[in-house]
Amino acid sequence: MRLTTKGRFAVTAMIDLAMRHGEGPVTLAGISDRQRISLSYLEQLFGKLRRHSLVDSVRGPGGGYCLARELDTISVADIIQAVDEPIDATKCGGMGNCHDDLPCMTHELWTNLNVKIFDYLQSVSLAQLVAAQGGAHKPQQIQQLDKRLKREKIGEAVAST
């Protein structure tokens, strides 16, 4: 099984969107800048995500995308399947015709691996991924906030003299 850029970018973009859940629509341009993903590629991915009812689009000024479901009801498997990413380690695409129209000797091995991979990806929710990002970035965000507050205090001190 090989996860391509399409699946990776879709999951990354959905995490970015989910981290801003409840703040109003998020623009694809914003996701593109933050995640360094081509805007045109994001447009293609979000079209598929919208058709699979994972995101909703909001048109007009202040528009963008928002989640169509709660974070804990969207799994990584949902995202990957929505963008047509195959979760398949078999050589035959699961058809069982790997070797002269018959299953190869390792067909069952790869089929069982597919089931395990799918089960795992289905068990990981967008909410879990967002929580993991919050925990990973908290120290960095606190440092940035501290630096900003220090700059503001220095600016206030200079202004008052």
CATH assignment at residue 38: 1.10.10.10
Q: Which residue has the higher pLDDT, 21 or 153?
A: 21
Range of the domain at 41: 5-86+125-160
Q: What is the pLDDT of residues 59-83, one digit of tens each?
A: 988 899 999 999 999 999 999 999 9
Using the predicted structure, report yes or no on whether residue 149 has a pLDDT greater than 80: no
Identify whether 110 is part of a domain: no
CA distances from 26 to 17, 40, 43, 75, 119 (A): 7, 16, 13, 20, 30
What pLDDT does 15 receive? Answer: 95
* Predicted TM-score (pTM) of this structure: 0.77
9 contacts: CB under 8 Å, gap ≥ 6 = 35, 37, 41, 42, 45
Identify whether 68 is part of a domain: yes
Using the predicted structure, report yes or no on whether residue 150 has a pLDDT greater than 70: no
Residue 66's DSSP bridge partners are 56
Identify whether 91 is part of a domain: no
Number of domains in the chain: 1
Identify whether 33 is part of a domain: yes
What pLDDT does 136 receive? Answer: 44
Identify whether 139 is part of a domain: yes
pLDDT band at 139 (very low <50, low <70, confident <90, very high): very low
Q: Which residue has the higher pLDDT, 154 or 109?
A: 109
Identify whether 74 is part of a domain: yes
Identify whether 39 is part of a domain: yes
